[in-house]
Structure formats: structure tokens, C-alpha cells
Amino acid sequence: MLLMLFIVISGSLLLGWVQNRLRRSALWTATHVPARRICGHETGNVPSHFIALNLQGQIDIIELPGGDATHARMYVGPRIYGTGADLVSVTLRFIDPAHTHHPEMLILFQNTQIVFANVQGTFRPATP
């Protein structure tokens, strides 16, 4: 009976270790969250495509304006600190409270919300 208990506990610990190693591997390091949105940076009617990445705790956002990869822009977001920072999910949300057709980009992670303002054809961290 003790041998079975040892096998179950060892198997559980080994499985947790393997899952954590996979999450930290190059295949699982980045959180890829695609979003499509008309944000005023397009030349036609094709929405821009956004990709949010968590690269070892550094949040980066890639914008393909109007779906055109030749004019891609990259925005450096905040850094996440602490244990497991490279495993935190990052999502994007776009709001247009002033109805200007130039929405603000919200970066959401760990119950935190960072606002990037849509100014002159690009996104910039909002100033208080």
C-alpha cells in the first residue's frame, strides 16, 4: 500500500514538472492572442490584426495595419515580474468611449489593465 502511495505521488510530481517544462519551452513561451479591429490605421476596409505576446515576462504587441504585414508595427508593453511571469496570459481589448473611430487599446493581464491611446496613427501609453 505504501508502494502504491509512493507511485501515485511520484507520478503526480513528475507530471507537474513535465507540464511546467513544456510551458516554459520555446513552443509555449509566447501567448498568441490574435484580434481584428478597425482602429483608423488602415488604408482600406480590411481590419488591422493584433497579436499580443508574453515573451519571458515582457509584453509585446504586433499590429498588422489593414492586414498588411509590410507595414507592421510593434508596441512594447509593460514587463511582468514575479514567479511564473512568463506563463501569464495577455489579452487585448479595444474601446472607443469618445466614438472617434480611433479606439484605445487595453492590455489585460493578472487583473491589471494598461491603456494605450490611439494618437496620430499609432498607439502610445496613455498619460494620466
In the chain, domain spans: 1-29, 31-125
Report the C-alpha gap between 23 and 30 in whole angstroms.
9
C-beta separation of 89 from 32 below 8 A:
no
Q: What is the pLDDT of residue 24?
A: 60
State the pTM of this model.
Answer: 0.71
Q: Give the closest residue to 79 by CA, choosing from 91, 88, 69, 71.
A: 88
Q: What is the pLDDT of residue 100?
A: 85
pLDDT tens, 24-64?
A: 654 444 455 567 777 877 777 888 889 899 888 999 999 98
Report the C-alpha gap between 118 and 115 in whole angstroms.
10
pLDDT tens, 75-128?
A: 999 999 988 888 888 989 999 888 888 899 999 998 999 999 998 888 999 886
